[in-house]
Amino acid sequence: ADTGTGDSTYVLTNYELEVTDNQASFPETDLLEKDDADVTHTTGAKTLDVVYNARIRASNSVGPSPWSNVHGVVSQLMLKFPSASLTFTAAFTSQADGLITSLVSWSKPTETGLGDATRALSAYNFLVTPAATNNAQGTACAVTIADVTEAPLTLQKSVDFVKGCTYALKVRAQNTVGYGDYAQESYVALGVPGAPTGLTLALSGETLVVSWTRPADTGTGD
């Protein structure tokens, strides 16, 4: 506001900008040959997750001004949200009382924030939502999971599904910027079939004829 004459009309000769990751001292100085209308400057690439501090002063033909107040910022400008390139598998483990227990697994995103998979993740958000209210037998499919897995991170979740129901499985990863997009897969809660019934054996000449009836439950409850 005051460039030397009590207002902002006098011509400045330059700015001195100091940037450091150590608040106690400012070893890095940029001498900016700029006029008094140009008040922005872009520095070179900095290390991620470091607190950088800066101060600046202006000069005219008389000399430099006092230093400005110190301003700090955490360098996260290069960090992006994780990608959603996760793959799902759901492996049957057991069944009992109309429930199918499956182990749902997913892979780590190919990009975790820096264009590759090197950035640390902080959580996964895993959701299970039924596609319909009931299965074909009229049993409610009400299994809904909203689970945030904090460190140490796991890449799997054991889930009890209602047999014969279809579910949307969704997962997204989180880093220090936030959550990425969901990856989604459809899953049908399929169990083992019921036992065949009506087994009969009969001889027809020298031929043994074996007959049976198809199971009433082929894996989905019917």
SS (H, E, C) 151-184: CCCCCEEEEEEECCCEEEEEEEEECCCCECCCEE
- Whether 48 shows a pLDDT value over 60: the answer reads no
Residue 213's pLDDT is what?
95
* DSSP state at residue 4: S
Any residues with CB less than 8 A from the CB of 157 and at least 6 apart, and which? 103, 104, 126, 145, 147, 149
> At 215, is the pLDDT very low, low, confident or very high (cuts 50, 70, 90)?
very high
pTM here?
A: 0.60
> At 77, is the pLDDT very low, low, confident or very high (cuts 50, 70, 90)?
very low
> Which range, of 37-46, 91-100, 118-127, 187-196, averages the lowest pLDDT?
37-46
Upstream peptide bond of 152 is cis (omega within 30 degrees of 0): yes
Which two structure tokens, joined as six digits, stand for 91?
């492996």
> Which range, of 49-58, 64-73, 131-140, averages the lowest pLDDT?
49-58
Q: Is 19 helix (H, G, I), strand (E, B) or coil?
A: strand
CA neighbours closer than 13 Å in the CB half-sphere of residue 125 = 13
Q: How far is CA 127 from CA 27, 55, 144, 186, in A?
A: 50, 47, 7, 12
Residue 41's pLDDT is what?
61
Q: Which residue pairs from 117-122 have beta carbons closer than 8 angstroms and sit at least 24 positions apart in sequence? A: 119/79, 119/82, 119/175, 120/175, 121/82, 121/153, 121/173, 121/174, 121/175, 122/150, 122/151, 122/174, 122/175, 122/176
Residue with tokens 């070179």: 44
C-alpha of 121 from chain center: 7
Task: Say if residues 112 and 121 touch (Cβ distance below 8 Å).
Answer: yes
